[in-house]
Structure 1
């Protein structure tokens, strides 16, 4: 049964597993998870899963979605489309291009991919663009413009869970802008022991939350790489409810609905030690939802006090990181929206998005 919310009239109903690791594929030894999605120029629906090889080395794959009666039921693999080939995507003992999110932006005629480059300084945001989902042009690491009123430099901090809106939105000064949601993490002690947490001005809660940054549309139209230099940073939402006790982060690209921008997000509760090894955590990831103001997408209109999807099946409760549902992609098939999500950091599931009357 779907979990209901009185504040956001949307539900998720799980439908099953659409992709699991293939034992014959060495790049999938550590799991297939947290996919992006999109359609190739011929209209065929694809996932771009994170493929994890031995040693926690991640690549981005491409897999065509198989449908049965309009419902995603499986995939056909089509290889790797992005690997940690650049120096800033590789460290001495780690490497990876992780957790891609893709947004089709009609005004640019491109899919915009955000991904986590797991390089020498840990997880950093990076961007790539494509017209066909197969060939990707790296736009480079995200370089956040310095903003004096924050009293900090966002480039100092690890960042994850970034995703673009699918169309220009009003910027802080009313100009049309492309907007990026992201999630900075303020604890620098992981790579500089003793440094601890450094919070921006005006933020008193050290738990990671959802932020928004903007890039003027006219600058992007003149130079696509401007997307990698966002500015006008602002906190959108922090943890508020019990299922978000540890942190929250954005999920699939925001979906325009009658009430505003629907953002499906994840909330985390439980225990997470001060380390990057997810296998040491004792956490639960659930999916929530919030509505953002179309006139000011950095403002939350309302949000769910309870999750709309929680780990419940064996595939969601058992895996590399147990008790995880992690939504990352949303697509429409024959008028129905489907959300794709990571299951326990091992498999990929699909759920149907419905609006209650």
Structure 2
């Protein structure tokens, strides 16, 4: 086997009839093993007026070891802080990712806090996955004229171990995707077969934060800095936008993360073209995760199932949770938990190949920061020079 192979296992979770917390959908869960070895999901639960909470559910498995259902266990976080609340009683704690950070010996959650100012990355910490303490919003230093302060930001996830920054200093590393004005897929959609991509403003980034120890648990996190532009839209399936997906997990080849890409489906009516959210794989170097070793030329998951094509937002598969199946003796198997049309949660199993598929040598960015998006990987850069 020399390609990434993904197989759908089916629908895992959908809105519970009569549950007011879920009338608008259940979607985009974090997935993490607890201290007792159980697997827990932290799905986004959407109530009326798009009021979103982060729930807790225990995954159930069948005799073959495949996930087959969930047991709802309550609420992990609901909008309470100023940075989670909007006007008229609305608010959001959304799209969590949870990572056990070995240095802190604690679980850290990144999630989207949706306030009057728009979506921002927020963090919380827990000893046991059931009791969470807010750490506030992530803060960022400017970088070479790019200012992340005051910019919408989503789809953040953390590495489980300290990662060397550009100077080799071991720090807490976070994947994130700032949403600069003009970089939403609805805004970048156009009729032309190629377009100009702003590398600074349309990319996935890695940023680093010092890991101070006070006892063991973090009281707060400092500024994220040492920014590095990781990846920008390249292939047709991701031509309008790319962003984070599952937290990085170590594989035989290096750090693996699934990420999402957006394109517009072909249509004779350009004004009514539908967006399509798909998912691909990225492998980052174990020693220097700023280096991309492999990246999907084609998506490994695209909306084809009716649950993925019809829902609150049509044509969406959105991976956010991942679980390595060492518990059943399969270290190359990863179960992927993903949102289906912003309405339900599906699960698929991904097998990592024994060898990485052949990929094209990365090309260094040109001196200007805007390049045309074209349908071949060899004609555009996939990563920036070392910061």
Superposed counterparts of 1:227-266, under 5 Å? 227=221, 229-266=223-260
Q: Deviations over 1:102-143 (max 9, x none)?
A: 111233211111000000101011000111111111110111
Aligned counterpart for 2:210 among listed residues 202, 216, 225: 216
Aligned counterpart for 1:83 among listed residues 78, 89, 93: 78
- SS of the equivalent of 1:217 reads coil
2:267 aligned with 1:270, yes or no?
no
The residue that corresponds to 1:15 in the other structure is 9
- CA drift of 1:221 comes to 7.3
- CA drift of 1:87 comes to 1.3
The residue that corresponds to 1:154 in the other structure is 148
Superposed counterparts of 1:126-141, under 5 Å? 126-141=122-137
Contact 2:210–2:222 under 8 Å retained in 1 = no
- CA drift of 1:223 comes to 7.1
Q: Counterparts of 1:311 and 1:300 in 2: how far apart (Å)?
A: 26
- SS of the equivalent of 1:55 reads helix
The residue that corresponds to 2:112 in the other structure is 116
Superposed counterparts of 1:4-153, under 5 Å? 9-68=3-62, 69-93=64-88, 94-147=90-143, 150-153=144-147
- SS of the equivalent of 1:316 reads helix
2:161 aligned with 1:164, yes or no?
no
Q: Counterparts of 1:31 and 1:241 in 2: how far apart (Å)?
A: 30
Contact 1:186–1:206 under 8 Å retained in 2 = no
Greater Rg by CA: 2
Q: Counterparts of 2:83 and 2:172 in 1: how far apart (Å)?
A: 25
- CA drift of 1:177 comes to 1.2
- CA drift of 1:257 comes to 1.4
Q: 1:112 to 1:142 in 2, by over 3 A?
A: same
The residue that corresponds to 1:302 in the other structure is 294
Q: Counterparts of 1:131 and 1:237 in 2: how far apart (Å)?
A: 33
Q: Deviations over 1:88-111 (max 9, x none)?
A: 111114310010011112332111
Q: Counterparts of 2:60 and 2:119 in 1: how far apart (Å)?
A: 32
| TM-score, normalised relative to structure 1 | 0.87
Aligned residues: 329
Aligned counterpart for 1:350 among listed residues 342, 347, 354: 347
Contact 2:336–2:347 under 8 Å retained in 1 = yes
CA RMSD of aligned residues (A): 2.2
Q: Deviations over 1:142-195 (max 9, x none)?
A: 111234xx21321121000100011111111111111000001110799xxxxx
Structure 1 stretches lacking a partner, 5+ long: 191-202, 272-279
